Structure 1
Amino acid sequence: MKGQINFPVSARASSGNDAYRPRPSDATSKLGLPRDGLTRLTKLVQPNNIHPLSNRMGQKKQVEHTHVLPKPKVQTIRFASLNIGSMTGRGRELADVLKKRRVHVACVQEVRWKGEKSRNLGAGYKLIYYGTTSGKNGVGVILNEQLSDKVLEVTRVTDRLMSVKIDLPDGAITVVSAYAPQAGCPSEEKEQFWEIFDNYLQNTPDARNIIIGGDLNGHVGARRDEYDNVHGGFGYGTRNTEGETILNAAIAYDLAVANTYFRKREEHLITYKSGAGCTQIDYFLVHRSALREVRNCKVIPGDSVAPQHRLLVLDIRLKAPLKPRTKKVMPKVRWWELSNKEKRHRFEMVATPQLTNIGCTDTSVDDMWQAAATTLLDTARTVLGTTKGGKWMDRETWWWNPEVQAAVSKKKASFKNWQRTKQQPDREQYLEAKRAVKRIIATAKTAHYQDLYNKLDTKEGENAVYRLARARNGATKDIQMVKTIKGPDGVPLQKDNDIRDRWGEYYKNLLNEENPREPCNDIPPVLSPIHAITQVEVENALHKMKVGKAVGPDGIPAEAWKACRNISVKWLTVLFNKILESGKMPDAWRSSTILPIYKKKGDVQQCSSYRGIKLMSHTMKLWERVIDARLRAASEVAPNQFGFVPGCSTTDAIFALRMLMEKHREKQQPLHLAFIDMEKAYDRVPRDLIWWALRKKQVPEQYVSIIQDMYSGAQATVRTQCGDTRAQPVTVGVHQGSALSPYLFITVLDVVCQDLLEPAPWTMLYADDVVLCARNQGDLERKLQKWKDRLHQHGLQINTAKTEYMAAGPDTANHNTIHLDGTPIARVESFKYLGSVLSEEGNIDADVKARMACGWLKWWECSGQLLGQH
């Protein structure tokens, strides 16, 4: 038949594909699936045709003993599908309907938004969508608050097909939102959609753990006929060519059209209604072996959020109930209130006399710090107050006020009345209520945003806008951090204790793994005396501390010391001199907290896909800044180093390298460059190598001892969604987020590779970013090999897979790449060096294009956050 898509029936069919029992007689009840129908669904699946979705969704296990087992707790999860017509202006109303209908996951079609983002709709619902053209097509998946942080993977295929993989208690399922071309579209477009649909299912790792909801724009008909394997016999209307295509696809992948397995009234079968036309074109497709867990599938005709389509819902039983989303309430001190002059003054007046009395007696460093920390925290809680805890939410739908809700309710009532009477006056009343809702929503939004604009003139309003932008930017991310993490064997962990232990084990290995190296030779210490710390040094260090940063485990930010500047400088000077004399800092400073942040790439359930951000005591960072200033005054690094050196920046390194390339381009001479990537450079630096490098730089031994004390007994806890892990020791590498770590690292690199450095720009370093240049390929290869051998000798490694080679100038196109230990290095036509794109042509065209693209990307991000449609 013309336009019909033929699917390979045996492509993914299971062994029990045709092993169905005869269909029982029809039931007379129209309220749901009849009792004999439930039995029929239970018997549809052969024992050898059970798959993980069935096991997860409540399959009964056979047991040999005879005593009665307690029934497992079950929960129904509700899916929905709706062609929304356009998400613009309907997001909040749709979220309200989904909440009212207790929907967990919804597939939406005709979103008509361009882009591939996520957005909060309100009422706890989050939309993940994809569209390529504004005002046309577009699909999405909506998740409620309970599931929005359980997204494992998002696959955007076309603006008519996308999927979201969700982590459920006993495993993962994939929810697909599909929108087939409607009547009137060219047959080529329809064939292309079903080919893409077919390819997607074939490439899905486990297509049986899948639920497809969408507007498939076909009539499967009321009767089963020859499609008794996938059609339940309770459909609506007359089958057409597009409906046969849907049924053929279901046969090919062992799916069943869930709508047709429940005897319902016509109003609960019709998914599309426009004037006198009534059809069934929206469907849910599930694997046949999962039919036994489908409890219901019907249309809810009463909601008028979409102009023509009706909400289709599917209830599936889960064996393991969804756990309620627990909110770990952690009240925070309102340190940002110190920006208010009045509260800042009150805080200073209360804290100053108490700090003055601390440290006057002969107390230990630990007692002195404990008393000060208690004083500052108690004063802050009293003067500044605390929050209720939890994350700041983007109240994007504040305009959803009682007046708007009342107007929407009136519109819904008018719609139901018109659907019941079918009279023209009632239709006119509904249309007028619909127009009134649009006017009231527009008025409410205008008032809300006008209030926001008026606040922009104040500091508080400016901060509120920044919080709003950050919240909305976070909401656009599909995947953040999931609770369920895979173990070393790749099996997902479900229990909280197992998840915490896995995070602790991962970071324990990561932060304590040292590469093999040769021992450092002994260097005699420099036993020169050092002078006491002055208030000017503390003042300068405090001035460099930034505000608004996340606090460490002690909860004391730099703002607290800046608020009491007169007394704090004096008190900190006394504390730092006591540390200098005793050679021991407070033990509370040795603890830190690691926050895993998803890298936006890789398996979201693998710990290695997260970057750990370490939070340390701000007062310890202040102490580090004092020592850092003295070390910089006592030692120097080579001029090849541009990173973390006063007076140098990325601009200098980029300019020097670009000038070198342009000079060779001008003289028509070749230039060969190698960009070295060091593997976990900061995390793998041996501690003994740090002490050795400092002594090599003739740093007084007392400073070396002080730095050794900073690293002695260091430990970290990992903050997970299941709580904090046990404290793990940190014995390798420099502290992440430390004020002193950058200088320690560049000092180590300077000492280790001192004799390998050629004058800049032939060898340039920006911390661990190293670029080597040479006029011929052989010289560059030898230089790279020397660097690799020297770094390996001292426990540092070059990442061969990420190190890249570029050849610029004439007669370089035919050159092969260089090698490192016999392994070829990837050759590239361009390389992004410190944010600037360098190309083998030696010009700036590639960099200009990259900066323009980056600018447009940021603009689109901002437009979506501040100018988007709600």
Structure 2
Amino acid sequence: MATAKSSQQSKDNASVEKTSMFRRMVQKLKKGSTEDDLEVGTKNKIKTSQRGSTEPSLRDGKKERVLKKSRELKVACWNVRTMQDREESDRPQRRSALVARELAKLDIDIAAISEVRFADQGSLTEHGAGYTLYWSGKGKDERRQSGVGFMIENSIANKLQNLPVGHSDRLMSLRLPLQDNQFATLISVYAPTLQADPGTKEVFYSELRSLLASVNEADKILVLGDFNARVGRDNEVWPGVLGRHGVGNCNDNGRLLLELCAERGLSITNTLFQQKARFKTTWRHPRSKHWHLLDYILVRQRDISDVLHTRVMPSADCFIDHRLVRAKLRLSIKPPVKRKGPQMKRVQVDRLLGLREEFQSKLDVRLNSNKGQWQKEDPESQWKQLKAALQETAAEVAGYSSRKNRDWFDENDPAIDALLQTKRSCHQRTLSKPDDPAAKVAYREACSTLQRKLREMQNNWWVNMAEKTQHFADIGNVRAFYEALRAIYGPTHRIQAPLRSADGSQLLTDKPAILHRWSEHYGNLFGDRRQVQEESIMRIPQHEVRVELDNTPTQEEVKTAISKLKCHKAPGVDGIPAEVYKVGGDALLERLTGLFATCWEQGVVPQDLRDAVIVSLYKNKGEKSDCSNYRGVTLLSIAGKILARVVLDRLIPTIAEENLPESQCGFRAKRGTTDMIFVLRQIQEKCREQNMGLYAAFIDLTKAFDTVSRDGLWKILSRLGCPPKLLAILQQLHEGQKGQVKHSGDLSEPFPIDNGVKQGCVLAPTLFAIFFSMMLREAKEDLTEGIYIRFRTDGSIFNLRRLLARTKTLEELILDLLFADDCALLAHTEEALQTVVNHFAEACKAFGLTISLKKTEVMYQKPPRGTYTPPQISIDGQSLNAVEHFTYLGSVISNDATVTKDVDSRLGKACSSFGRLQKRVWKNHSLRLSTKIQVYRAVVITTLLYGAETWVLYRKQVRLLERFHQRCLRCIMGIKWQDYVTNIEVLERANLPSMEALLLSKQLRWAGHLSRMEDSRMPKAVFYSELCQGKRDRGAPRKRYKDQLKRQLSSAGIPVKEWENIANDRNAWRAATKRGAESFETARRESAAEKRSHRKAAAAQSAPTQGFTCPACSRVCGSRIGLHSHRRACRGGQPSQ
């Protein structure tokens, strides 16, 4: 008993001691808290010395606050109800901007935001208000009623070393570096409501406990957010957790929170300070109208001396039902490390194009000032002087571009700020005089005026954007047209995710570590210098050296190379865009040609022309924390691209075209993905027609472009006749290359790139194709397996008897279908395909390439009367995955030789494309219908009909496509089924043809293209061929491509026997197909109208002859059930009341 008393007494003493400590702290902070009772407008102007700067803090993005050692850190938590913009809501749009402006007025540094409701994880920058939102939510396909995030002031967000980490849709953490090598871990929370399932609450608090346990013991902790809990004011029961100034009573959720705080040694700072009730409560119950405290800021009990004040800010108003809680902390953020090297600036290229003459004249003066001395310099010095002249002249004439605020909210920044200030002033008067009815009326009027004006501004902006979009569409400016479309989407949601370390054991969140991880990833990828077996190289026949390719580049070649540059592309390390070279004039052309001539003679290329800046883009599949799920986009110097183009224009017509196989269609003139898709579908069709099986292996190479052996490539080019000077320039453009990774505006340390072709360079596809072709030549040596076809192109495609003349037909082996590194290997039997795959795998090893066994798949198409057995194909003892359909070059190839799966796939992609433009284009009443239709045809129809040239369609599939077409058009024009508008009228209003007419036009144009191909082209040979093996069954075969073509020619009014002669003239064929499609559409509409009139006439004639008479009122009903229904309401002939 005595022991129990002693224990209780010690507890009481501890409680008294902690209570007295709280009292002393409150007394100490009372004076400091008086300024918080002032109005917001006054508070932002006083005590600037506490900020560490005499200048006011600006949040308009024009100035950044200087982070001084003595400045206070202001944090907040706020439930914003949602950040999503919805048309049906009574709240103004661009809520992220409105929330950011309220935080800016209160000078908040970091705010924990609850109920964000955005999908997945990402970031959104509001440049106008000066904040960046980082969020974590549920997936796109899940219902989102939660979501948490941090809204961080841009001067802090831009220099954060650690990215916020989303743990779930209710928890997100941020590790903030402080002065004196300290850190603070901030946790944004949104707890389940009181009515939530107990299991949900248990999971939340379990996850929060785990997160708190993972925080470094030395870190300061701040937990901020909406806990949906009332903790009450019983500080004696919860000493150290609650202060003496709590609110209300405790509920079940509050007890869970108090238990957590007691376990983890946390204190609820909202209860530490004495203040008015309205500065404590955050949410008013909608029915009882009572105010409660639900949002809290928690700190470690040992760190409560860092908290200067915590209070509710009633002045923060953003059309939501929660008040903002703000805490002032005696903490100082660590000054960020300055970025290394000069930051790249962007030249205003649009302005430069309009000042061409001024730019040329000033550039001429700079270039001619040291012309004599320049010619004596080495290439590196020549380039540095030329680069300086271009940069200085471009900056002087056009200047550098700043960020463009294209959103309606940003463009009306001053007016919106004035409206918000008026509303805020009225709100302040309402808070100071709650019983004044005039103040309430003025506040309601201010809110109404704000919403009305915002809608007017938004509407005016949309009208202006619609006029611009329409203007660009009218004049045919495609680039500006789609730039205007992109502008209407508003601020971009960027993917923001941490990365895993190389061994996968650690999640990296700080920027330096992420940047180092990217550098490590690309360094390992490009640093593995691979070799090609010497025996394989020596088996390549030595070609005669093309000495003429060693001639010094001429001005005409350089001029042609400049004309082929694409505008509006990101520049390389020098920051000089392509437009500068296009407007440079004769003086620049002469100087650039001189530079290239010096490089050619000395065999040296300036370092800037080799180096690369790499930007990583997510592939939209796989884990975002895995570096291998990103695609590296390389930014190269434009001058280096011009030199590479000069080399390429010499390489393609000679060495490349002489050695590339016909089956390679990647990055070659007059070839595309449709060629290989068509060939594969035709082989499937002919195998089915002639009762032959088809085995296909779709090979995937791991990082094919990045793993090309450079040493082997130079030796191969030498064997193919590449002269020494041209080869030296190729080597100089690659060897000694260094790369830097750009991430969040920072550049990594340079690392060597020793392997692979130069990604982003115009030479890369051709060099890879040459290397890959030599590897295939090695693989196909002594191979006789494959698909043998017999063809003849001098007869009609519809006359099969022409192939019986064996003396006039040719045979060809089709073994591989290539598009860059996409490779499909074909054979009739499983054993033959295994042999082909074995040869291919051995050749890959000899040339240093790696096959991805996980992504390589095999498909088997059985003969019509055969039995399906999954193919057993292996590489190095590992079986390859057998599939029934495979997405090849964007089209779904099925093992039943139909296009059903592909049509379904295209419909899904087109639906997704249509849905993304739903709010911004189709439902935008400011855009003209013609503009919407143009967008629909350019974006949605193009997506839907990709690869449709190769389809063999049945009526059912055409109806599916037609139904989608009609549904989209009715949605765009706002036509409902109750309006009784026919499909023909819908097409007439949209001024569009039917889907069947679009398909007819597309496939006829492709048929004409096939007919005009050279006889050596694989698509034409396959089109006019049959298999050397196999036998047709008796009777009519299943619908073939040629059958469909014959029917389409008849429908278009084109003579079947003369179509190939007409197709030889491209213009005549296009005119014929256009006329044919129009006549087909006219006939189709007339037929539909006639059928409709017949149906109406038949319906009118088939009126019911038998009637059912009501005995009470003598009304005649058409059916017995109708009479039954009538009698229930009949009043015996009396009129109803």
Shorter-chain TM-score range = 0.7 to 0.9
Distance 2:122 2:765 in 1: 36
Superposition map of 1:411-810 within 5 A: 411-423=423-435, 424-456=437-469, 457=471, 463=480, 466=483, 469=486, 475-479=492-496, 507-515=522-530, 518-519=533-534, 521=537, 526-530=544-548, 532=551, 533=553, 536-564=556-584, 576=596, 579-580=599-600, 582=601, 584-599=603-618, 611-635=631-655, 636=658, 637-661=660-684, 671-719=694-742, 724=747, 727-757=750-780, 762-807=815-860
Q: Tell me the residue number matched to 2:17.
A: 24
Distance 2:707 2:143 in 1: 52
Distance 2:867 2:432 in 1: 78
How far residue 689 of structure 1 moved from its aligned partner, in angstroms, is 0.9
Give the structure, 1 or 2, with the largest relative contact order (CA under 8 Å, sep 6 or more): 1
CA contact (8 A) 1:486 1:492 kept: no
CA contact (8 A) 2:22 2:243 kept: no
Q: Tell me the residue number matched to 1:280.
A: 293
Q: String of CA shifts for 1:442-487, please: whole Å, max 9, x gaps.
A: 33334444444455537999859828937967730141799x9999
* DSSP-derived class of the 2:548 partner: coil
Which structure's residues are more often helix, by fraction?
2
Quick one: which of 137, 161, 172 aligns to 1:163? Answer: 172
Distance 1:157 1:804 in 2: 35
CA contact (8 A) 2:779 2:842 kept: no
How far residue 299 of structure 1 moved from its aligned partner, in angstroms, is 1.8
Residue 344 (str. 1) matches residue 356 (str. 2): yes
Quick one: which of 131, 142, 164 aligns to 1:125? Answer: 131
Give 5+ residue unaligned stretches, structure 2.
1-10, 31-67, 84-90, 781-785, 788-812, 926-1137
Q: String of CA shifts for 1:801-848, please: whole Å, max 9, x gaps.
A: 333344555888763764322234445555433233345555434434
Q: String of CA shifts for 1:516-554, please: whole Å, max 9, x gaps.
A: 653355576744531645555444433322112222334
CA contact (8 A) 1:831 1:839 kept: yes
Q: String of CA shifts for 1:755-808, please: whole Å, max 9, x gaps.
A: 434568642222222222344445444433332222112222223333334455
CA contact (8 A) 1:32 1:263 kept: no
* DSSP-derived class of the 1:652 partner: helix
CA contact (8 A) 2:611 2:739 kept: yes
Distance 1:504 1:241 in 2: 50
Superposition map of 1:75-86 within 5 A: 77-86=73-82
Q: Tell me the residue number matched to 2:105.
A: 100
Quick one: which of 214, 217, 233 aligns to 1:222? Answer: 233
Distance 1:200 1:777 in 2: 53
Alpha-carbon spacing, 1:492–1:201, altered in 2? closer, same or farther (3 Å): closer
CA contact (8 A) 1:487 1:493 kept: no
Distance 1:295 1:570 in 2: 68
Normalising by structure 2, we get a TM-score of: 0.61
Q: Which amino acid aligns with 1:163?
A: M
Q: Tell me the residue number matched to 1:243.
A: 254
More deviation in 347-356 or 757-766? 347-356
How far residue 30 of structure 1 moved from its aligned partner, in angstroms, is 8.3
Alpha-carbon spacing, 1:543–1:405, altered in 2? closer, same or farther (3 Å): closer
How far residue 748 of structure 1 moved from its aligned partner, in angstroms, is 0.8
How far residue 293 of structure 1 moved from its aligned partner, in angstroms, is 5.7
Give 5+ residue unaligned stretches, structure 1.
1-17, 38-71
Distance 1:620 1:771 in 2: 34
Q: Tell me the residue number matched to 1:61.
A: none
Superposition map of 1:379-390 within 5 A: 379-387=393-401
Distance 1:660 1:317 in 2: 75
CA contact (8 A) 2:531 2:711 kept: no
- Over the aligned positions, Cα root-mean-square deviation in angstroms equals 4.8
Alpha-carbon spacing, 1:255–1:31, altered in 2? closer, same or farther (3 Å): closer
Aligned residues: 804
Alpha-carbon spacing, 1:284–1:486, altered in 2? closer, same or farther (3 Å): farther
Q: Tell me the residue number matched to 2:1037.
A: none
Q: Tell me the residue number matched to 2:1105.
A: none
Q: Identity of counterpart residues, as a percentage?
A: 24
Alpha-carbon spacing, 1:261–1:610, altered in 2? closer, same or farther (3 Å): farther
Q: Tell me the residue number matched to 1:191.
A: 198
Q: String of CA shifts for 1:20-48, please: whole Å, max 9, x gaps.
A: 953536469889756799xxxxxxxxxxx
Superposition map of 1:341-420 within 5 A: 343-351=355-363, 363=376, 366=379, 369=383, 372-387=386-401, 392=404, 397-398=409-410, 400-420=412-432
Normalising by structure 1, we get a TM-score of: 0.77
Distance 1:363 1:563 in 2: 26
More deviation in 673-682 or 638-647? 673-682
Alpha-carbon spacing, 1:718–1:162, altered in 2? closer, same or farther (3 Å): closer
* DSSP-derived class of the 2:113 partner: strand
Distance 1:217 1:501 in 2: 41
How far residue 230 of structure 1 moved from its aligned partner, in angstroms, is 5.3
Q: Tell me the residue number matched to 1:11.
A: none
Q: Tell me the residue number matched to 1:3.
A: none
More deviation in 147-156 or 87-96? 147-156
Distance 1:176 1:395 in 2: 29
* DSSP-derived class of the 1:679 partner: coil
* DSSP-derived class of the 1:475 partner: coil
Alpha-carbon spacing, 1:413–1:554, altered in 2? closer, same or farther (3 Å): closer
Distance 2:688 2:111 in 1: 58
Q: Larger radius of gyration, structure 1 or 2?
A: 2
More deviation in 461-470 or 643-652? 461-470
Alpha-carbon spacing, 1:652–1:291, altered in 2? closer, same or farther (3 Å): farther
Q: Which amino acid aligns with 1:466?
A: E
